[in-house]
Every structure is written in C-alpha cells, then in structure tokens.
Amino acid sequence: MPRYHVVDGTEVQFTPEEETARDAEEKAWEDGAEARAAARVQADRLSAYQAESDHLFFEEQAGEVASGTWVAKRAEIKTRFPK
C-alpha cells in the first residue's frame, strides 16, 4: 500500500527512496524495542529504589526497622518491574 505525506496541504505519494528510508526507520525502531523496554525497567527500578528502599538500608543499619526490611522491599520492587 503506498504511503503519503502532506506537502502544502496536498497528499504526495512517497518516492521509492522515501519508502526505503521509512522502512529502514521502522525496522530500526522495532529492533530497538527490547533495549527501550530494558531501559524503561531500569529507570522504573531506580526511581522506586530511591523513593522506597534506599532509606530503609540506613534505617535497618541503625536498628530503626527490622532486619531484612530493605532486602524485602528491593525484592518487591524487582517483582513489580521485571526484566
């Protein structure tokens, strides 16, 4: 199916070169999906670690929370954001 783009309000069919370039862009985007998903998981985990578990490490070291609290929270975050 031919593709079109709009130039000055008029639909213009892609040239063969534009079709080839567009196909290459789509393939590159699809090929990068796994890396983008992995980066999203890493970013989500980092955010959750900072907000929810980092302070627990120090609180646990100071005896303010039960032993294992920090490890349990990190495990829960990893479950929430699986790789």
Range of the domain at 81: 40-83
Q: Are residues 19 and 44 in the same domain?
A: no
Q: Are residues 54 and 77 in the same domain?
A: yes
DSSP state of 6: E
**pLDDT at site 80:** 97
Nearest C-alpha neighbor of 56 from the set 77, 39, 79, 40 = 77
**pLDDT at site 23:** 92
Helix axes 16-31, 33-48, angle to 10 degrees: 40
**pLDDT, mean of each 10-residue run, the chain (83 residues):** 88 92 93 95 98 97 97 98 93
Q: How far apart are CA 48 and CA 7, in angstroms?
A: 45
**pLDDT at site 1:** 79
Q: Are residues 49 and 20 in the same domain?
A: no
Entry pTM: 0.70
Q: Are residues 52 and 83 in the same domain?
A: yes
- The domain tally of the chain equals 2
